[in-house]
Amino acid sequence: MALSAAPSWAAHAYAQFGDIKYPPGFTHFDYVNPDAPKGGEIRMVPPITSTNFDKFNPFTLKGTPPAAMGVLVFESLLIGNAQEPTTAYGLLAEDVEVAPDRLSATFRIRPEARFNDGSPVMASDVVYSFQTLTSKLAAPQFRTIYAEVKGATAVAPRTVRFDFASPNRELPLVVGGMAVFSPKWGGGKPFDQITNDLPIASGPYRIPDARLGRDITYVRDPNYWGANLPVRRGQFNFDRITQKLYLDETARFEGLKANEFDFMREFISRNWARQYKGKQFDSGELEARAFENRNPGDFQGYVFNLRNPKFQDARVREAIGLTMDFEWLNRQLFYGLYKRVDGYFPNSDFQAAGVPGADELALLEPLRAKLRPEVFGPAVVSPSTAPPSSLRANLRRARDLLAEAGWRYRDGALRNEKGDAFEIEMLNNQPSLIRVIAPMQASLRKLGIELRVRTVDASLFQQRMDNFEFEMTSLRLPGSNAPGGEMFELFGSAAATTPGSSNLWGIADPAVDALLKKVVSATTRPELSAAMRSLDRVLSHGFYSIPQWYSNAFLIGFRPRPFVLPAVVPPYYQPDSWAMSTWWASPSNR
């Protein structure tokens, strides 16, 4: 489509690889109840403990916003669903047209779309949102996410066009998923100074007052413009959704038993095995259920900060990884609930296995000069202590790797040629993790390495992460069925030097950058899988992390009455947003 040509409107959805499940005129997603009654309240806690929130602007770098704003308050031109990883349907936009050369995407905004102040959503608002998010007033990760978007133009009052730097099939989904907000938000303040001004957005819920603090209640907007859209019918049924914050895990669980809230996700296997039982669970007042899913496994691991000279040698990183005994941890501490993470994309089509296939070699061979020779051999498998392997054998291998890298034991410690002792500070914001780290501490001590754990509160931890002021830490990355541009934010060289980015490792590898470009330029699902497996192979052979563990089920403690769950559980979902958007309260039990 030429830029000057008028678009031919017809597309109610966009699929990165052409696989659209729901046809034009569909009435609702089939995993929701379109007749679910409205009313009642659900009280939840965020997935992690946190301190008080101190702003209502989730798009700036400094401060902590309340949980769930992105799901409940802000909307985008397109919206995905829990069944199709790379497909999105019109929300604010009623139509989308992608140019034949894929260098632009044009959206027509629904005439009925409204912000919560009653004003219509216009193309100029979309342009403003894009320009604001890509400015220096917003958090730097947005500039990485939208790096391949050249600009946004209002070509008519309700028609907006995004121009792209390359023909990337994912980019219409990227810009289609961008949050849209009103220029009136903040009353003219610079965007990075908007803190306690309530958002002017278009979502199904509003924040009733501007009090900053620990808990927040979202109230369903009775005048919500999109309630009857096919992508919204049967969803967001609660009149009120409350997010309650607790400063530690013990207080949070006690709050569930004391009827202070209704729903929480458990991450600690010991808690799940020991605490979720007793009279309240036997009587049915509380329920503990493992909700299975087909989500790619989360990556969870200890990460090295490569900006620190002691971690720049891959042999050192590999050696430290050999000191973790997952099999013992799973048996003694985790009640056998977890599986070991291999690579960065476990339990998915993107996980490297065996030797590279022809599709991977086609991507890796041009990069051979930039890659370690081992990349062309078998994929990295996380160390095991299951027989015939053993922790003792792993520690011997670690000792040899460290010696090759110039670290030898003398004078009571592992030292380099300058005589510096090898010491590591592990930055931690989860007190429960200390018992998990302890066995690895003991193994490192046998090698002459002293690992100290520094536990800090959530706000200081985030500040240290934003400024990359740590040596090692623990990280969890949710798995994705539709990886794309956000991979640059995680692993790209530009993000390595951008404060506040998600590239905590500091990975700056031209081979990784080249493979990231292959990920975002894939035109078919097999091409995407090959690029991701190649990326996984290269990252794993860099030993940038010590992979930990994952589960293919969400461990949820909840109060079953008065809630009703949809008959169909979708394959790809996150439990908190699924409950907020598709559960409802039975009128007879409120």
Average pLDDT over residues 5-23: 73
Domain identity same for 104 and 35: yes
Give the model confidence (pLDDT) of 308-345 as tens digits.
999 999 999 999 999 999 999 999 999 888 899 999 99
397 and 500: one domain?
Answer: yes
| pLDDT on residue 270 | 86
Structural domains counted in the chain: 2
- Cβ-contact 88, 80 below 8 angstroms: yes
> Given this model, what pLDDT does residue 9 score?
40
Whole-angstrom Cα distance, residue 41 to residue 239?
6
Same-domain check for residues 336 and 428: yes
**Residue 12 DSSP label:** S
Q: Residues 172, 105: contact at Cβ < 8 Å?
A: yes
Domain end call among 211, 245, 279: 245
Residues 416 and 537 in one domain: yes
| Residue of 93, 180, 91, 71 lying closest to 132 (CA atoms) | 180
427 — phi, psi (to 5°)?
-85, 130
> Which pair of structure tokens corresponds to residue 304?
């090295």
Query: pLDDT grade, residue 7 (50/70/90)?
Result: very low
Mean pLDDT of the chain: 93
What distance in Å separates the CA atoms of residue 515 and residue 361, rounded to the nearest whole number? 12
Measured distance CA(500)–CA(408) in Å, rounded: 36
pLDDT at 589: 67
Question: DSSP secondary structure string, 382-418?
Answer: ----STT--HHHHHHHHHHHHHHTT-EEETTEEE-TT
Three-state SS sequence of 507-525 = CCCHHHHHHHHHHHHCCCH
Phi-psi region of 40 (alpha: psi -120 to 50; beta: other; left: phi over 0): left
CB 280 within 8 A of CB 286: yes
Percent of the chain, pLDDT > 70?
A: 97
Residue 18's pLDDT is 78
Q: Is residue 182 part of a domain?
A: yes
DSSP letter for each residue of 545-572: EEE-EE-SEEEEEE--SSEE--S---SS
Can you read off the two tokens belonging to residue 109? 């905004």
Mean pLDDT computed over 527-554: 95
Residue ranges of E strands in 2-55: 13-15, 41-44
- DSSP SS3 for 526: helix
According to the model, what pLDDT value does residue 480 have?
84
For residue 4, pLDDT beyond 50: no
- State the alpha helices, DSSP H only, in 276-369: 279-282, 314-321, 326-332, 358-364
pLDDT bucket at 403, cuts 50 / 70 / 90 = very high
Whether residue 306 sits in one domain with residue 238? no
DSSP 297-313: PPEEEEEE-TTSGGG-S
Indicate whether 215 and 108 sit together in one domain.
Answer: yes
Indicate which CATH number applies to the domain containing 159. 3.40.190.10
* Cβ-count burial 366-400 (b if 16+ within 10 Å, e if not): ebeeebeeebbeebbebbebeeeeebeebbeebbe
Domain assignment of residue 25, yes or no: yes
**Residue 41 lies inside a defined structural domain of this protein:** yes
125 in a domain, yes or no? Answer: yes
The radius of gyration computed from the CA coordinates of the chain, to the nearest angstrom, equals 25
Smallest CA-to-CA distance from 61 within 126, 5, 122, 137 is with 137
Q: Whose CA is closest to 374, among 384, 364, 366, 383?
A: 364
How far is residue 460 CA from its own chain's centroid?
21
CA atoms within 13 A on the CB side of 334: 19
Tell me the C-alpha distance between 298 and 554, whole Å.
11
pLDDT of residue 430: 86
pLDDT at 8: 37
Tens digit of each residue's pLDDT (9 = 90 or more) over 169-224: 889 999 999 999 999 999 999 999 999 999 999 999 999 988 888 899 999 999 99
Give me the pLDDT at residue 212, please: 85
Whether 341 and 217 map to the same domain: the answer is no
Alpha helices in 50-197 (DSSP H): 69-72, 123-133, 141-145, 171-176
Q: Give the residue among 588, 587, 576 at the shortest CA–CA distance from 218.
A: 576
Q: Are residues 422 and 496 located together in one domain of the fold?
A: yes
**Any domain includes 293:** no
Q: Residue 109 carries which side chain, given as an amino acid letter?
A: I
- Picking from 208, 230, 245, the residue at the C-terminal end of a domain is 245
Residue 150, phi then psi, degrees to nearest 5:
-75, -35
402 in the same domain as 524: yes
Among 268-272, 274-278, 486-490, the minimum mean pLDDT is found in 268-272
Angle between helix 391-404 and 314-321 (nearest 10): 160
Q: Quote the domain boundaries for residue 356.
A: 299-550
Tell me, yes or no, whether 329 and 218 share the same domain.
no
In a domain, 191, yes or no: yes
Residues 215 and 309 in one domain: no
Given a cut of 90, whether residue 486 has pLDDT beyond it is no
> Are 361 and 353 within 8 A, CB to CB?
no
- How many angstroms separate the CA atoms of 82 and 571, rounded? 7
Q: Average the pLDDT over 251-256 and give the result.
A: 93
- CA atoms of 152 and 176, how far apart (whole Å): 12
> Is 570 a member of any domain?
no
The per-residue pLDDT for 426 is: 97
In a domain, 327, yes or no: yes
- CA-CA distance, 381 to 38, in Å (whole number)? 49
3-state DSSP: the chain helix, strand, coil percent, rounded to 5?
A: 30, 20, 50
- Measuring CA to CA, how many Å separate 512 from each of 46, 370, 523? 33, 10, 19
Provide, rounded to the nearest whole percent, the portion of the chain with pLDDT above 90: 81
**Segment (H or E) for 340:** strand 339-340
**DSSP H or E segment with residue 93:** strand 93-98
End-to-end alpha carbon distance in the chain: 54
pLDDT interval class at 1 (50, 70, 90): very low
At residue 51, does pLDDT exceed 70? Answer: no
Are 213 and 304 contained in the same domain?
A: no
Q: Give the contacts of 274 (CB within 8 A, at least 6 positions apart).
A: none
Q: How far apart are CA 453 and CA 275, in angstroms?
A: 26
Mean pLDDT computed over 5-15:
63
Which pLDDT band, with edges at 50, 70 and 90, does 50 fall under? low
- The residues, ordered by sequence, that sit 6+ positions from 566 with a Cβ below 8 Å of its Cβ are 31, 32, 33, 36, 582, 583
3-state secondary structure at position 539: helix
